[in-house]
Amino acid sequence: MIEQTLVLLKPDAVQRGLVGEILSRFERVGLKIVGMKLVQVDAELAKKHYPDALIPIVGGKTKKDWDAYGIKYTESVEDIGKMIINATRKFIQQGPVIAVVLEGLHAPEIVRKLVGTTGPKDSPPGTIRGDFAHLSLGYASTQKKGAANLIHASGNSEEAKKEIELWFKKSELFKYPSVHDVHVLYAPYDL
């Protein structure tokens, strides 16, 4: 099942000079870059990528984090969610982002494994976030700032399709053979 997925190298990844290291991890497992560009995200694109529909989800997760840390608050889940989404939108606009479309077998699933969990502190060593970030989402939320977690990766195939359409025109995506196609996709010899 050949799929495509979207990866965004966020401003912190670009500013820290981690782009090559991160992209090489995807290429080493056989994923192919079929689209890539440097983008300065504006408010409109930030809102489309992080839509208002995420407010109750993010608010609920943040409330659980705050409860677990014993943080006292008076805001509603809705208000907490709005604060986090607005901070996340602001963060992605802080500097250039590298948008990448990767292609390969089970691409969304493989990329998510390589990236680690959304919260860097909970990502195991060997993952991108586990190796290069340590911030907790709970702490970032107490500072009312977007989490510097280096990277966005589509959560699943359906999300990937929508996000790719948001970030790329069809003319910006390429088809070409790679050496991995021979080793992964085809049986060049009979056993």
Tens of pLDDT along 57-93?
989 888 888 888 888 889 899 999 999 999 999 999 9
Q: Percent of the chain, pLDDT > 90?
A: 68
Name 98's bridge partners: 9, 38
What is the value of pTM for the model shown? 0.90
Instruction: Name which residue leads in pLDDT, 88 or 120.
Output: 88
For residue 184, is pLDDT > 70?
A: no
Residue 55 counted as domain residue: no
Is 48 part of any domain?
no
Q: Please count the structural domains in the chain.
A: 1
> What is the pLDDT averaged over residues 127-133?
91
Q: Using 50, 70 and 90 to split pLDDT, how confident is the model at 190?
A: very low
pLDDT value of residue 123: 85
Q: Is it the case that residue 191 has pLDDT exceeding 70?
A: no
Residue 137 domain flag: yes
Identify the pLDDT of residue 29.
94
User: The tokens 């192919």 sit on which residue?
Assistant: 32
Range of the domain at 10: 2-43+93-185
What CATH code is carried by the domain that includes residue 150? 3.30.70.141
Give the residue-averaged pLDDT of 95-120.
Answer: 94
**What percentage of the chain reaches a pLDDT higher than 70?**
94
Which residues are known to be catalytic?
Answer: 152
How far apart CA 88 and CA 147 sit, in angstroms, is: 7
